[in-house]
Amino acid sequence: MIDRYAVVGHPIAHSKSPAIHSQYAKQTKQQLEYSAIDIEPGNFINDVKTFFDNNGFGLNVTVPYKEEAFNLADQLSPRAQSAGAVNTLKLMADGSIFGDNTDGGGLVKDITVNASQSMQNKRILILGAGGASKGVLLPILEQQPEQIVIANRTAEKAIALAQKFDQKVTGIGLNDLGKIEQPFDIIINATSASLSGQQIDLPTSLLSKECFCYDMMYANELTVFLKWAELHGAKTMDGLGMLVEQAALSFELWREKSPATHIVLEQLRAQLA
């Protein structure tokens, strides 16, 4: 029987993960099947158990089940523990289930390798304090930035999130960003505002001369945040590479093979266009 892998979520029909992982399997000559499974609310634990009982070896987990996957895993990686969420489950040799979170590693790889933007000693602003923001903080901190500021519409959430990390991380409200005097080297939009095409009102004083602006969302055109950044002379990149890189890290965890991500990224970019 062929080794089975899948992405689970609700809804899941538009997931790009099956296409990405099929390419990775082909490239690395791995015999496996990767599908998309829609799990109805309330069925997560049962459906995941059934999957692993039927030749399933690994799962990617997406909205809305990342916290349930975190609770289901028998062991967790430090980055999953820090994120409080799991996007990758792996069946271990002893039958236990290991939970990891590759979102932050995917983001860091996309920014530091694909975009060649070092994070070391840089001032980094993260917009948003939801699941995506929480998931990337530890991997970004591991890059040894000078400072991280988390700015959120609901200020209390940013402050509470920052307090879980070291003193390099501070939290403020989006409305207070105008009070910050020093500009940032890297600004990452981890809000869901781009999904609805909403503009976040940001002062241009946040942008350093060589500022790099990253939107975790991706689309066939620049997001409103990236349009604003480009208009004010910043370098820009969207989150398609983060998706491709987090998938590669999951694949490596499962199969111990490193796929060439740039080929898949180019294909997806062409499809988006």
On the CB side of 161, CA atoms within 13 Å amount to 29
CA distance 52 to 45: 11
**Interface residue with ligand NDP, options 73, 124, 193, 226 (CB under 6 A):** 193
Here the tokens at position 116 are 């060649």
CA distance 68 to 220: 31
Q: Least distance in Å: CB of 17 to ligand NDP?
A: 10
Query: What letters, b where the CB count within 10 A reaches 16 and e where it falls short, cover 85-120?
Result: bbbbbbbeeeeebbbbbbbbbbbbbbbeebeebebe
42 CB-contact burial (10 Å; exposed 0-12 / middle 13-18 / buried 19+): exposed
**Interface residue with ligand NDP, options 20, 76, 190, 202 (CB under 6 A):** 190
Q: Give rounded-to-5 percent helix, strand, coil for the chain.
A: 40, 25, 35
Q: Least distance in Å: CB of 223 to ligand NDP?
A: 9
Cis status of the peptide bond prior to 259, with omega within 30 of 0: no
Does 216 sit near ligand NDP (CB under 6 A)?
A: yes
> For the window 82-111, what string marks contact with ligand NDP as x by the rule CB under 6 A?
---------------------x--------
Tell me the sheet residues that pair with 149: 125, 170
Question: Is 66 in the active site?
Answer: yes
Residue number, 3 or 224, with CB nearest to ligand NDP: 224
Q: Least distance in Å: CB of 29 to ligand NDP?
A: 26
Sort strands 88-91 and 97-100 into parallel, antiparallel or unpaired.
antiparallel
Catalytic residue among 16, 26, 66, 90: 66
> For the window 233-252, what string marks contact with ligand NDP as x by the rule CB under 6 A?
------x--xx--x------
Please check whether residue 7 is in contact with residue 38, taking contact to mean a CB–CB distance below 8 angstroms: no
| Options 1-9, 74-82, 94-102, 153-161: segment touching ligand NDP (CB under 6 A) | 153-161
Does 160 sit near ligand NDP (CB under 6 A)?
A: no
Residue number, 80 or 91, with CB nearest to ligand NDP: 80
> For the window 122-151, what string marks contact with ligand NDP as x by the rule CB under 6 A?
------xxxxxx------------------
Single-letter amino acid, residue 183:
P
What does the binding site for ligand NDP look like in residue numbers (CB under 6 A)?
A: 103, 128-133, 152-154, 157, 190-195, 198, 200, 216-217, 239, 242-243, 246
Catalytic positions, please?
66
